[in-house]
Amino acid sequence: MKKSIKLIALCIILQLFTITVFAQEKTKQIEDLLAKYNEYGQFNGSALVSENGKVIFKKGFGLANMEWNIPNQPDTKFRLGSITKQFTAFLIVKLAEDGKLKLDVPITTYLPDYPKETGDKITIHNLLTHTSGIPNYTAAPNFLKDKSRTPYTPENFVKTFNKLPLDFKPGEKFNYSNSGYFLLGYIIEKVTGKTYEQYLQETILTPLKLVNTGFDHSEVILKNRAAGYEKQGKNFVNSSFIDMSIPYAAGSLYSTVEDLYLWDQALYGNKILSEKSMESLFKSYISLGRASYGYGWFIDEVDNGDKVKLKTIGHGGGINGFNTIISRYPADKNLIVLLNNTGGTVLGEMNDAIRAILYNKPFEQPKKSMALELLDIFKEKGTTAGLDTYKKLKSDPTYGIKEGDMNDAGYQLLQAGKKKEAIEVFKINVEAFPKSGNVYDSLGEAYLAHGDKKMAFTNYSKSVELDPSNENGKKVLEELSKNKAK
């Protein structure tokens, strides 16, 4: 009997030892991976990974402030961008649970001054699921130049878009719209009689002890706040200013990777929201092909090998100088949080690699971004030198074409008046990502700027074919068709 007990104890010790060794190996793999992305100029921020609900990795990479050489840490505060939407959706569902609003009634029920012609047709559910048809205010021409630097009250900013015609009949389709989530914040204020910030604080942040999360205000001295930067080729510049009253309930929160872990853990319980209401956040309401959208969350099933589908619930965010992602795997209580303060980068690619590490699957090693090399060559030496460099780098296995980076490089050339060079860069992206509607849209825009309406029409048409939700592309095609008819 004593031998059996000793044998069982030995087996348990060996099992715990094996688990510890595997966890340590995963931690090292994650650190090595992110260190390489940092070396290649593709990750400058903080990361946290948890497995089975336990944190196995958290660390900062690069600098929170480049001017003072202050490093990023796990407690560094980053602007979240659209990760804010999941907090806004939670607050709305909480109000519904408390009987203070209904999700299936017209928004004019709570916003009586909203134009009835459209407001009577749009429900809160439509706002939550991006099916309202309200044009996305951040997609308006010259948005950054005309509006982003000016402070607005929620009431006054709503007036900048509430009389625009709808892009489609409410409920008919999905079109990601910051306008909808801005309205949700305004509805929260109307229903509660409190500011969005106050209601967020008392309903989520204080009960869950998220002491390093809040509504960002540029003028407030905020300890451990990361500065935001943007890439220009291989260099960085300070990001452009945006008044935080503009993103509001669609994107104005800041947080840390540690607080987002606490948020993730709270979503498994029912401390401040009932089980039924919590489930409503993660229900698939509208199909987006393989993925779907819930309330403030994208829901997806990723191929985890061996024909096994792994459910993932997540969301990304982007705002001047910041790029963020939170990815949850509820079946195993796994979590990946990546917060970056150097503008757009390949967080999705990093997330996929970390997920592969968690599930012991093979993954792609980081590659240098070809766009960072090509931008300066195209800008300073022209198309011939740029294309020659592209041919050389294309055969170099240490380089890869990153869709977002190449797109950014093209737009930087376009903004610098290098239209021919921009067209060539966008063409490289089209060649690399022939199934992406976005790359054809960018190429179409470059051709239009260059005055080649025929090629603009061809590429915008391909973009809309690949991405039927591209409402802006449809508008451009309509205008081109009208002008052609004349």
The helix/strand/coil state of 310 is: strand
DSSP secondary structure, 168-237, as one string = S-TTS-----HHHHHHHHHHHHHHHSS-HHHHHIIIIITTTT-TT-EE--TTS--TTBPPPEEEETTEEE
- Cα(253)–Cα(244) distance, integer angstroms: 9
Q: Which token pair is 343? A: 């503008």
- Cα(375)–Cα(412) distance, integer angstroms: 8
Mean per-residue pLDDT, 333-338: 98
- On whether the CB atoms of residues 440 and 416 are closer than 8 A, the answer is no
Instruction: Look at residue 5 and tell me whether its pLDDT is greater than 70.
Output: no
In this structure, the number of other CB atoms found within 10 A of the CB of residue 223 comes to 7
The helix/strand/coil state of 352 is: helix
Mean per-residue pLDDT, 26-43: 96
Under DSSP, the state recorded for 281 is: H
Query: For domain 368-485, which architecture applies?
Result: Alpha Horseshoe (1.25)
pLDDT the model gives residue 58? 98
Cβ burial, residue 157 (10 Å; 0-12/13-18/19+)? buried
Q: Which one, of 188, 319, 176, lies nearest residue 243 by Cα?
A: 319
- Cα(192)–Cα(98) distance, integer angstroms: 11
How high does pLDDT run on average in the chain?
92
DSSP secondary structure, 423-446, as one string = HHHHHHHHHH-TT-HHHHHHHHHH
Contacts for 228 with CB less than 8 Å, ≥ 6 apart: 79, 238, 239, 319, 320, 321, 322, 341, 343
- Cα(479)–Cα(444) distance, integer angstroms: 13
In this structure, the number of other CB atoms found within 10 A of the CB of residue 462 comes to 19
Whole-angstrom CA distances from 470 to 139, 168, 406, 474 are 11, 12, 20, 7
Residues spanned by CATH 3.40.710.10 within the chain? 81-358
More confident residue, 53 or 344: 53
144-148, 274-278, 298-302: which has the minimum mean pLDDT? 144-148
Mean per-residue pLDDT, 353-362: 96
Instruction: Look at residue 83 and tell me whether its pLDDT is greater than 60.
Output: yes
- Cα(456)–Cα(443) distance, integer angstroms: 7
* pLDDT single digits (tens) 371-401: 988 998 999 999 999 999 999 999 999 999 9
Q: Which one, of 282, 480, 81, lies nearest residue 291 by Cα?
A: 282
pLDDT the model gives residue 486? 57
* pLDDT single digits (tens) 438-472: 999 999 999 999 999 999 999 999 999 998 878 78
Residue with tokens 């021409």, as numbered in its chain: 141
Q: Are strands 298-303 and 291-293 parallel, antiparallel or unpaired?
A: antiparallel
**How would residue 485 be classed by pLDDT, with cut points 50, 70 and 90?**
low
The pLDDT > 90 percentage for the chain reads 82
Whole-angstrom CA distances from 436 to 210, 214, 291, 425, 440 are 38, 35, 16, 15, 7
Whole-angstrom CA distances from 478 to 433, 441, 461, 485 are 25, 14, 10, 11
Q: Answer whether CATH 3.40.50.300 is correct for domain 81-358.
A: no
Mean per-residue pLDDT, 15-23: 50
**Of the ranges 89-98, 288-297, 444-453, which is most confident?**
89-98
- Cα(165)–Cα(155) distance, integer angstroms: 19
8-12, 17-21, 213-217, 248-252: which has the minimum mean pLDDT? 17-21
Residues spanned by CATH 1.25.40.10 within the chain? 368-485
**How would residue 232 be classed by pLDDT, with cut points 50, 70 and 90?**
confident
pLDDT the model gives residue 4? 62
